[in-house]
Structure 1
Amino acid sequence: MPLHALQASGVLRAARSRVIGIIGAYDCGKTSLLAGLYDLFQEGPIAGVTFAGSSTLHGFERICHDSRVASKRGVAHSPRTSRGEVVFYHLDVQQSGEIDMVSLLLADRSGEEYEEVADEMANGLSMFELRRADTVTVLVDGKRLCDPKTRHDVINSIAPIVQGLRESGAFARQPQLAVVLTKNDAVVSSKKADVAAADFDRLVGTITHRFADGFSDIRKFVTTASPTGLAAKRGDGLRDLLLYWLNEGRPEPVAPGGAASDRVFAILRPREE
């Protein structure tokens, strides 16, 4: 099973560790991301990173089960995270050329609790996993971004969550920030793929413009942890995200830009003579 706070503290004391805070609304793909990364390690090393152990194997197997053939489900499914205290999934990894092992502690908290921070800043005061995090990972639901009925909810919900957490002091250590598009298989197979990709880039631009001073680095990633069809390969993008969590082999940073906006006027450009 996953670790509770005191057990996770024991891992931090025992080895060189990195804490990863994962922020996302309900059903944004957080559990699938954790399960997808664990399943990738079952195929062998990932970009020179070798699985070296875990104290939460049963917890990983539990969240992976419903996305496997053995579950006899017609569609891959991941159990939702229960509301309440945060738990941690633990991975020990060995990087090529490194002597010391690194322990990754992946924090898992109910998405509804992060959404509530946007309405009341005080709700973020107890999120100690973000205060200790080396990398904060914000998940953006690609499937909902392609749906005209939910698109604006996705676009307009992320920045207020980050704002509420920042004002509550959750990012006092200035961690790295990874902004991650999940369920990219739904994006590439959608008729709205170009719109969704542009929305994601605009959202990353907004976050970078508003919150760059609160993070040591900001990067964007596109992932497919558990595809429902053949539009993308299982685990796409997780390699780069893992390396970023380990602070190695990072993709190009997001360039700071001007204020991003969803208003129609924001897409207008001067006419060339």
Structure 2
Amino acid sequence: MSEVKACSQVGCDIRNDGKCLEGLDQECPHFYWDDNADDEEIAENESPSVVKKSSTKIEVFKGAELSLKEMLSITQRYPCDFVTILGDLDCGKTTLLATIFDLFQIGQFKKHLFAGSLTQKAFEVRSHLSRMSSGSIKADTERTKTLDFRILHIAISNFDLSLKKHFLLSDISGETIQLARSSGSAMKEYLGVVKLANHIIYIIDGEKLAGSEKTAALHDAQLFIQSALDNKIFNSETVLNVLISKWDLLENLATFNLEELVVNKINKRFSAKLKAINYKRIASRPHDENLTAVDMGFGLQDLIEDLMNFPLLQKRLTLQSEVSERFINNYKVNENER
């Protein structure tokens, strides 16, 4: 887009011949630069009297969520740890993202500080229903609807070590996980990019474990892990971080034993097939803080600590061909020290 001389005064033809009606040119109070001129139209009718002004506009990040293709605009700027957050519908994936963002704003993480985000608007959108300004009576999180990966960026600094790390956090719908679990082709198409992750998180819904769906919830988790192994999304080098969400509903439940009902069963089936399986209890946003000793963001300090302490290696994405919205085809991974 080019800018040309223009005048708001009737009868002035400066746009065509470059001459001010009153001979004042840029000192004329009616003069302005028109930045809506069509370059092709100007080229056809251009004369020596038409003056072009180079544009000084700078494209900035909109702060919205990113697609997999757009994610590269971040990785080209910073070394980033890619964190994929997986789990069934309503297990708390998006709530986890929103709560991390909220806790940084109130200074909940003692050793770590928020060091910036190029998707801050996307974090705000996910936090909106938990704010008073939303008009909601009860804190909530809008459910992720798209089947495709959405990416959020956040930088975190360690106050004691003067360390700053950039993270790309995935937000993907539970429907995608269900589809991938039941179909090998869907697993490869929608979740192939998980192979590039520095951190793989799988969330098991604590609310289901607390009720009549505990057997189904554990079965679905095991079925997903097995399918990911069968389709080479997970392998013997995979470190799987299993988060038990909504721990406030489980902490005082006499009939629930985490080791017996979850840890032992998953380890027995998969510990020999994966490099490691880690378990954590979290409660991003307790259902009723008046009825439990579990505070908002329970367990997230330890999660952030683990992410920050991960070895300083970077998996960079380098495109070799077209990038689709659903899957990065023909990628190459380079590991470099930061």
What range describes the TM-score normalised by the shorter chain of this pair?
0.7 to 0.9
Structure-2 change in CA distance of 1:96 and 1:145 (3 Å): same
- CA displacement, residues 176-210 of structure 1 (integer Å, 9 cap, x when unaligned): 22111111122236xxx1333x1565322232233
- The CA deviation at 1:98 is 4.3
Partner in structure 1 of residue 198 of structure 2: 134
- 1:100-179 counterparts in 2 under 5 A? 101-126=164-189, 127-148=191-212, 150-172=213-235, 174-179=237-242
Structure-2 change in CA distance of 1:135 and 1:201 (3 Å): farther
- CA displacement, residues 123-177 of structure 1 (integer Å, 9 cap, x when unaligned): 11121331111111110111111112x2221121101001111221112483422
Partner in structure 2 of residue 267 of structure 1: none
Separation in 2, partners of 1:129, 1:200: 31
Q: Larger Rg: 1 or 2?
A: 2
- 1:215-230 counterparts in 2 under 5 A? 215-230=274-289
| Greater Cα shift, 164-173 or 219-228 | 164-173
Paired residue secondary structure (2:271): helix
Consecutive unaligned residues in structure 2, runs of 5 or more: 1-63, 312-338
1:205 aligns with 2:267: no
Partner in structure 2 of residue 61 of structure 1: 124
Consecutive unaligned residues in structure 1, runs of 5 or more: 250-273
Structure that is richer in helix per residue: 1
Structure-2 change in CA distance of 1:128 and 1:234 (3 Å): same
Using CA pairs under 8 Å that are at least 6 residues apart, name the structure with larger relative contact order, 1 or 2: 1
1:80 aligns with 2:143: yes
Name segments (4+ residues, structure 1) moved above 6 Å.
none
Separation in 1, partners of 2:162, 2:187: 37
- 1:239-254 counterparts in 2 under 5 A? 239-247=301-309
Separation in 2, partners of 1:210, 1:122: 23
Paired residue secondary structure (1:194): coil
Structure that is richer in strand per residue: 2
Paired residue secondary structure (1:66): helix
Separation in 2, partners of 1:210, 1:233: 33
**Aligned AA for 1:236?**
F
Separation in 1, partners of 2:197, 2:137: 37
1:180 aligns with 2:180: no
Separation in 1, partners of 2:275, 2:120: 32
RMSD: 2.1
Partner in structure 2 of residue 6 of structure 1: 69
Count of aligned pairs? 244
Paired residue secondary structure (2:304): helix
Q: 2:297 aligns with which of 231, 235, 255?
A: 235
Query: Is the Cα contact below 8 Å between 1:131 and 1:172 reproduced in 2?
Result: no
- CA displacement, residues 197-231 of structure 1 (integer Å, 9 cap, x when unaligned): x1565322232233234544321111111112121
TM-score under structure 1 normalisation? 0.82
- CA displacement, residues 231-259 of structure 1 (integer Å, 9 cap, x when unaligned): 1211110111112223359xxxxxxxxxx
| Greater Cα shift, 45-54 or 234-243 | 45-54
Partner in structure 1 of residue 316 of structure 2: none
Partner in structure 2 of residue 38 of structure 1: 101
Structure-2 change in CA distance of 1:33 and 1:158 (3 Å): same
Paired residue secondary structure (2:100): helix
TM-score under structure 2 normalisation? 0.67
Q: Give the percent of matched residue pairs that are identical in Structure 1 and Structure 2.
A: 24
